[in-house]
Amino acid sequence: MGTGVDGNTFGKPASELEALKSRLADALSQIEDLKSRLPPPVKIVEASLIPAKTALIIVDMQNDFCRVGGKLGPTEKAGEEAITAVALKIKALKDRGKPKGMKVVYTQDYHYPDDPEFKIWGPHCLVEKEKEVDKPTWGQMEISELVPEPDDKVIRKGGKTVSYDCFYAAYKPNEMEETLEELNVDTCIVTGAVSNICVYCTVVGCAQRGYKTIVPVDGIVSLSSWKFTPAWSLFQWSTLYKVAITETGKIKFE
């Protein structure tokens, strides 16, 4: 069907076709704009590490962030399952490296009822006191796949306007710096939740302090509402801070 004597094309008035062409042009323009905002892809590298000189940092893999029903967790089961898949990758890495001497450090949000961060995010990862004894709620606890072992280090964050940065917001001043120094490591593998906030701060904090910093892309969780992460995070880490971007299966222990 072509153009008829009445000026219709493919059975549609010319004015309607022009409107369709305009919408298509707008859509193509938006696609090109989105492409221009995406950073270049990062290079995934192999990482061969000395386990005794390496710390695996597991950031905030807690129920309130990772489980349906958590205060800041996924709203659908599919989201929880995706996070669990990441957790199992982290666990497999821990199970491979720790028997060879790799150190493990957890960070946790750890908030009392009057925490100033609640003005921003609302109550989450809450710890209540009973007779001066801390009683963590379910939301504060680590997910079942990644429960800290007795010899793992745990850095608790809270008491600040924001508690994103484990180097800034630990209850004990300089606890993260001192912990890494005591462990006598020179390399940090950073994993956990989320690449947009607390993982981001941990990666930058490690790199700025001179640690060889490694991020496995399949070992981090990101906020789905931020469309351009973790792509931008990965690009910034690798270019500005010389962070090595890898995958859990590409990390080898010498």
pLDDT tens column, 196-207: 899 999 999 999
Alpha helix (H) residue ranges in the chain: 14-37, 63-66, 77-97, 118-121, 175-183, 198-208, 231-240
Element of type H or E holding 57: strand 54-59
Q: pLDDT digits over 52-67, tens only?
A: 999 999 999 999 999 9
CB 125, CB 62: distance < 8 Å: yes
Q: What is the mean pLDDT of residues 101-123?
A: 97
In the predicted model, is pLDDT for residue 71 greater than 70? Answer: yes
Structure tokens at 81: 């399952």
Domains recognised in the chain with CATH numbers: 1-37 (no CATH), 42-253 (3.40.50.850)
The pTM of this model reads 0.86
